[in-house]
C-alpha cells in the first residue's frame, strides 16, 4: 500500500502533476522545468525529490545537467501514467508546447 500511497501523494499536487505530464514530452533538467512552471529552483528541486522517492521519475547526468525523466520501467508507475494519456486541458497544452521549445542553451 505504501507504494501506491507515495505515488498518489506525489501526484496529488498540481505542480508535480504538471511536471510529470511535461516529462512525457521529453526529459528535462531542473532549470528547464523551472522555466516552464515558473517557481523557484529550490521549489522545483523539492518537487522532483518527492517524485523521485515515489519512483515516478529517474534521472541521468548529461554534461553539466541532470536530466529528469519518467521511470517507465516501474510497472505501477507506468500503469498510473497511462491513465493520464488523454489529458488535454489548455494549461497542459501550453506546458507541452513550452516543453517542446525548451532549450537549455537559452535557459540555464
Partner DNA sequence: TTGCCATTTCGTCATTTTGCGAAACATAGA
Partner DNA sequence: TCTATGTTTCGCAAAATGACGAAATGGCAA
Q: Which residues contact 69 (CB under 8 A, 6 or more apart)?
A: 23, 26, 27, 57, 58, 59, 60
Asked if 5 touches its own copies (CB under 8 A), the answer is yes
Asked if 108 touches its own copies (CB under 8 A), the answer is no
Q: Which stretch binds DNA (CB under 7 A): 19-27, 35-43, 71-79, 90-98?
A: 35-43
Sheet with 57-62, edge to edge strand ranges: 28-29, 65-70, 57-62
Asked if 94 touches its own copies (CB under 8 A), the answer is no
Rank residues 28 and 81 by Cβ distance to its own copies and give the closer one. 81
Nearest to 51 by CA among 29, 65, 73, 69: 69
Asked if 29 touches DNA (CB under 7 A), the answer is yes
16, 48, 105 from 67: Cα distances, Å: 16, 11, 14
**What is the C-alpha separation between 74 and 53, in angstroms, rounded?**
13
**What does 46 interact with, of DNA, its own copies, none (CB < 5 to 8 A by kind)?**
DNA
Rank residues 28 and 81 by Cβ distance to DNA and give the closer one. 28
The site for DNA (CB under 7 A) is made up of 9, 12-13, 15, 29-31, 39-43, 45-50, 59, 61, 63-66, 104, 108
Amino acid at each position: 500500500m505504501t507504494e501506491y500511497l507515495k505515488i498518489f501523494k506525489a501526484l496529488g499536487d498540481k505542480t508535480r502533476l504538471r511536471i510529470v505530464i511535461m516529462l512525457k514530452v521529453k526529459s528535462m533538467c531542473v532549470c528547464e522545468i523551472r522555466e516552464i512552471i515558473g517557481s523557484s529552483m529550490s521549489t522545483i528541486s523539492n518537487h522532483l525529490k518527492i517524485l523521485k522517492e515515489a519512483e515516478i521519475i529517474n534521472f541521468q547526468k548529461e554534461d553539466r545537467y541532470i536530466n529528469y525523466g519518467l521511470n517507465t520501467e516501474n510497472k505501477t508507475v507506468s500503469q498510473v501514467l497511462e491513465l493520464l494519456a488523454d489529458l488535454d486541458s489548455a494549461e497542459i497544452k501550453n506546458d507541452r508546447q513550452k516543453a517542446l521549445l525548451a532549450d537549455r542553451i537559452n535557459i540555464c
